[in-house]
Structure 1
């Protein structure tokens, strides 16, 4: 059992940079990543959702972080059926990308989709080769609901990512409601996809149940989005604005330990992007779990 790795969902978030968490002399791109990697063993690459990553950046990320540090990379928006602006594509692909005709990967020209997949996977090769690819996160939109079409999309994703570590987060709450839970868990287990458990505000139409499924023996994933009542609506800042209290985090400790007992490694990531709220919450959770800072935080903290 490799253990529990605690980190955040970005090290380049503008609110974090503006918060002053990065000290003077370490506020350039290289300095920020090195500073972050001295304190946490894992980070999520959020920018890859908005634009295709590059091999150069993947190589630099691996070079600028210590052995054992890993990156969870969020899949490009087009690969999960989210609306994707033409400007998000490389310039040479934009002429082949008309206005999207519908929702989902099936709304995109197959040849263009093949090319985007190829570029995305090629860009991640330096991380894979260096052993730094923690997982690739496919975050599906709120309109992606259980059914034959969804299973077809997930199956196609599994074929394209064969051999990769993959995690899936569903944004529609029906996937993890009581009457669908077993079928959802069985589907992801069959595909060897790690299920992303989430912490969000409850009681809202878009609230995903706070369940803790473990569907892969390689990896478990928990993403703390904050508990804003604007979840599912409002601006990004409104949706994710929340400062976790120690009691809120402490309630998760036995659940995290239980998940870690069922998988080789558990990634615990904070996405409450409001100033330095995510890094502070990650530091608090690390302390509650009894983990030291940095890569040494890998071995799982056991209860008394």
Structure 2
């Protein structure tokens, strides 16, 4: 049985900071991360999607967290084909992803930015979350192959947001594509009432890692404000649906990362803590996993 690590998708989310979850005296940048790392063994860095990470910040993250703490890092927007603000790019570069010079420089900056995490053995995965318009087909396969070349030697996890990738007839082809490129698959929990809903399947494409990301079940997914899209308090029944799925993933991979992205107030950290309790109860009932934390 593989390790199960649980965390949330950002320890710096403004709604979380404003919720009062961080105690007095631990609300500066260093204090927040140290407090968070005392509660969970895993976190996702989502700021790296909006701005290129820096080696300085990565070194500070390593220094401020205990041995064994793991960072999953979300790929910068331009690297996954999302619209990118010109102000987020290094000086002198345009947001033209079709210009090789731009992509080469952005890849180089991203690589340098996460290097301290890799060198310290603290990089859990780089998350490539592709946009809803990224659908199965030859162009997508070529793009994924280019990503694999750029990320050779990295732990990479891929989240598809177009539902066709994980529909029944496409699923074996998707798994094989990820496996061929050395990428781990990301399972998703989200509302199932929309045409864009990704089914709650739990594919395994790499023996080392599986990732599960909980986006909440708001029907406003894809519309409205960020708070509208991610506002959801998971119930025990909703989390309980995933306990056997997560444990099944842990039987098939060395490590499972369970991350909560329902970032509205302290909803994500509460859900993460509750999922930890439910998994621990299942472990006591059925036999131990190596680690659930």
Normalising by structure 1, we get a TM-score of 0.92
Task: Check the 8 A contact 2:215/2:230 in 1, yes or no.
Answer: yes
Equivalence map 1:110-121=2 (5 Å): 110-121=100-111
Q: Corresponding residue for 1:294?
A: none
Task: Check the 8 A contact 2:11/2:43 in 1, yes or no.
Answer: yes
Paired residue secondary structure (1:261):
helix
Matched, 1:233 2:220: no
Paired residue secondary structure (2:143):
helix
Instruction: Give the aligned length.
Output: 286
> Deviation at 1:178?
1.1
Paired residue secondary structure (2:233):
coil
Task: Check the 8 A contact 2:2/2:252 in 1, yes or no.
Answer: no
> Deviation at 1:238?
1.1
Give the alignment partner of residue 161 of structure 2, picking from 147, 171, 190. Answer: 171
Paired residue secondary structure (1:299):
coil
Q: Corresponding residue for 1:97?
A: 94
In the TM superposition, what whole-angstrom CA distance separates every residue of 1:27-52 from its partner, at most 9, and x where no partner exists? 00000000000010000000000000
Unpaired runs of 5+ residues, structure 1, are: 101-106, 292-297
Matched, 1:142 2:132: yes
> Deviation at 1:232?
2.1
Equivalence map 1:23-62=2 (5 Å): 23-62=23-62
Matched, 1:8 2:28: no
Alpha-carbon distance between aligned partners in 2 of 1:72 and 1:96, rounded to the nearest angstrom? 27
Moved over 6 A (4+): none
Alpha-carbon distance between aligned partners in 1 of 2:2 and 2:254, rounded to the nearest angstrom? 6
In the TM superposition, what whole-angstrom CA distance separates every residue of 1:8-32 from its partner, at most 9, and x where no partner exists? 0010000000000000000000000
Q: Corresponding residue for 1:295?
A: none
Alpha-carbon distance between aligned partners in 1 of 2:50 and 2:264, rounded to the nearest angstrom? 19
Matched, 1:181 2:152: no
> Deviation at 1:189?
1.0
Q: For the aligned residues, what is the CA RMSD?
A: 1.4
Unpaired runs of 5+ residues, structure 2, are: 282-288
> Deviation at 1:299?
3.1
Q: Corresponding residue for 1:300?
A: 291
Paired residue secondary structure (1:6):
strand
Alpha-carbon distance between aligned partners in 2 of 1:265 and 1:239, rounded to the nearest angstrom? 29
Alpha-carbon distance between aligned partners in 1 of 2:65 and 2:291, rounded to the nearest angstrom? 21
For residues 59 and 2 of structure 1, do their structure 2 counterparts lie closer, same or farther at Cα, with a shift above 3 Å needed? farther
In the TM superposition, what whole-angstrom CA distance separates every residue of 1:84-111 from its partner, at most 9, and x where no partner exists? 0101112x2xx3305x4xxxxxx43111
